[in-house]
Structure 1
Amino acid sequence: MSGADPAGRAAFREFVRTHHPDVGGDPAVFAAGLARFRAGESEVDSRYDAPVRFTARRRGIAALLARFRRRPPRVR
């Protein structure tokens, strides 16, 4: 699957939407399908194997206070 191939990307996304274990798909079928898609892609287009990173975001009053503290002082 090439990054420049819109039909290939659409097929990959449709496969993931229907067969992902989080939406009720079979994990074995999903793993086999991913292997098929990865076998067809080039070394340059391996962005689907990139690591996923999660970052913590402050919410609520803590986020508001953090933004207020980072603000530059007002000049009068």
Structure 2
Amino acid sequence: MTTLAQRLVEAEAAYHSLMTGRSAVTVTDQSGESITYGRARASDLAGYVANLKQQISGRPAIKTIRFNTSKGI
């Protein structure tokens, strides 16, 4: 069984390969499922990397951001 840190290293390497010209990369996620990412899905892979980093840090994900302004409706 792979650890979060190992998956993060693999996902970051896959993202780097994709961004430097490789047409597609395959990553195995936490459930053991293999997912192939192409250039069109690079943002999905970046999201997966961010999710792994968030899980490793142990901090809860920010789900809502609210802005209060003095001008407007």
TM-score (norm 2): 0.32
Larger Rg: 1
Name the structure where helix makes up a greater proportion of residues.
Answer: 1
